[in-house]
Amino acid sequence: MAGLVPAIHVRHHTPMAGGYVYILASGSNGILYVGVTNDLVRRIYEHRNGLVPGFTKKYSIKRLVYFERYEDIQTAIQREHNIKHWPRTWKVRLILASNPEWNDLYDAIV
């Protein structure tokens, strides 16, 4: 069927209501990207497989190093907006507080 985008299947998961704020990195202490989504598994899959055009694809930013879950998407959107305007050092502190090794957390969420 022309014009339809195929569904993305990632180990059958059920997205939870609400939203997520996440931080991706190009590597340990690398380039950072802050995003928001209602389906964290799907969105990180898209980033990792180059399905999202733009900044993350251009700079190969694929490592999930931090995320927060919110009950409603509006709260997540507001939090993302706030974090995006933080200085880099604050974002790095946020990551280091829960993930000092800058491990890729993707396998923990699928």
The Cα–Cα gap between 98 and 105 comes to: 11
Strand 19-25 to strand 32-37: parallel, antiparallel, or no bridges (unpaired)? antiparallel
Quote the domain boundaries for residue 104. Answer: 19-109
Within a domain: residue 75? yes
Q: What is the Cα–Cα distance from 74 to 96, expressed in whole angstroms?
A: 26
Q: What is the pLDDT of residue 14?
A: 54
Predicted confidence at residue 26, as pLDDT, reads: 97
Confidence of residue 1 (pLDDT cuts 50, 70, 90): very low
Does the structure show a pLDDT above 70 at 41?
yes
In a domain, residue 13? The reply is: no
Domain assignment of residue 7, yes or no: no
* Tens digits of residue pLDDT in 50-108: 998 999 999 999 999 999 999 999 999 999 999 999 999 999 999 999 999 999 999 99
Is residue 42 assigned to a domain? yes
Residue 84 included in any domain: yes
CATH code of the domain in which 83 resides = 3.40.1440.10
